[in-house]
Amino acid sequence: MPGKKPEGPIIWTTLGSAPYPTADEPCSGYLLQAGGANVLVDIGGGVLGTLQRYIRLEDLHAVWISHLHADHFADMPLLYYAFAFSEKRMRKIPVLAPVGWATRVEAFVKSAVDHDMKNFFQVVELKDRGIAEIGDLRIQARAVEHGVPAFGLTARYGDRRLAYTGDSGPCENLVTLAKGARVLVAEAGTDVIEIPSVHLSPEDAGTTAAHAGVSRLVLTHLAPGLGEDEAIERAGSTFNGPIEVAKPGMSIQI
């Protein structure tokens, strides 16, 4: 029925958040689901294999990549191989990532065979405030501070919202993207004061959550050596709501 309010939750599943793949956890990658849509958010080393524990690759509707550092992007050439050489007929899904992503993958996989990303994917380059719609799921990108082109996102499905910072230092756009969201998934990639700031400390993540007025803070992609209990305690010094640390396989439903 036209105009019917979308029903059902937003589901955000952590596939991995490690700075480099380990035996137990891949790098950054998350499965965003709502209304039947399956979107892979970030595709760091090891993520592609873990994704297939949850969905088949032919059921993937889009890939959204926050920035082109290897711990968020390294498995993209392998996704190309999966689509280019699969025995199954794969849909040409959109891949949304910062400018130049397709050229970078093409250079990495270049060989005698066809390696033009446009033959296998819809090549989309992210821009600030750009919006993608996959069914009733609406994803808006906001430019953030990371020393390279980088984006956070707000996912909206009906009246439900979730925000994800990606890698970023403190900036006003992080607060903007998180306003109205029930949950903020925030990286805490440093445990020291950075100048310039290209990562959030736990305190920064808590401050962003507090200023945005979110109900719940999920810390992810913790700095090496930063323990979960310490990260939660430090974020709690600036944010009074529930705080937890993302773990592989953890699903959030909104």
- The residues that are catalytic are 71
Rounded Cα gap, residues 97 and 178, in angstroms: 20
Rounded Cα gap, residues 197 and 70, in angstroms: 19
What angle do helix axes 76-85 and 101-109 make, rounded to 10 degrees? Answer: 70
Helix (H) or strand (E) holding 151: strand 151-157
From the number of C-beta atoms within 10 Å of its C-beta (0-12, 13-18, 19+), residue 179 rates as: middle
SS3 9: coil
At position 99, the amino acid (one-letter code) is V
Helix %, strand %, coil % of the chain (to 5): 25, 30, 45
Q: Name the region of 244 (left: φ>0; alpha: ψ -120 to 50; beta: rest).
A: beta
Helix (H) or strand (E) holding 46: none
Cα dist. 72→126, 131, 231, 246 in Å?
15, 20, 21, 16
